[in-house]
Amino acid sequence: MRSSGVAAMLLASVVTTTPALAQQQQPSVPLIAQGCAGCHGQNGAGQGATPPIAGTSRDEFIKIWAAFRANERPATIMNRIARGYTDAEVAALADHFAARR
Ligand code: HEC
């Protein structure tokens, strides 16, 4: 009961995160995106069995992230990784990877 309420709150906060808020807290994106490169390849191009993430639209990225956090998207590892980033960081990562090709 309680935990599903928390998941719903997390989801709502992801959906309502404003660009202004993301700007205010301005995480250092190239640095946090380095944590993705080991699996997703430089610039999120994908490598081996790990899917490419470059070019994913901002909205799609934020939706996917919320689904990983809520355990609603099949995952071996991303469900756990997704919980380690704040909403502002996720918004910044979304912008970063949406701009990669
Ligand atoms: C330990 C390896 C690993 C790391 C680190 C990692 N990922 Fe992933 N990622 C995966 C795997 C594997 C999948 C496929 C889903 C699963 O099995 O969890 C995935 C899936 C995804 C997807 C969904 C892609 C799709 O089209 O289905 C996104 C978006 C994503 N990762 C973003 C990120 C971002 C952003 C970071 C860095 C903050 C990151 N990942 C770090 C391994 C990793």
Report the distance separating Cα 85 and Cα 83, nearest Å: 6
Ligand 1: centre distance to CA 101 (Å): 17
Q: Is the pLDDT of residue 85 over 70?
A: yes
With bands split at pLDDT 50, 70 and 90, how would you rate the model's confidence at 29? confident
pLDDT of amino acid 2: 61
Residue 98 near residue 61 (C-beta atoms within 8 A): yes
The CA angle 18-84-28, to the nearest 5 degrees, is 60
**Ligand 1: nearest atom to the Cα of 97:** 35
Q: How far apart are CA 14 and CA 8, in angstroms?
A: 10
Q: Between these two residues, 17 and 54, which has the higher pLDDT value? A: 54
The mean predicted confidence, pLDDT, of the chain is 86
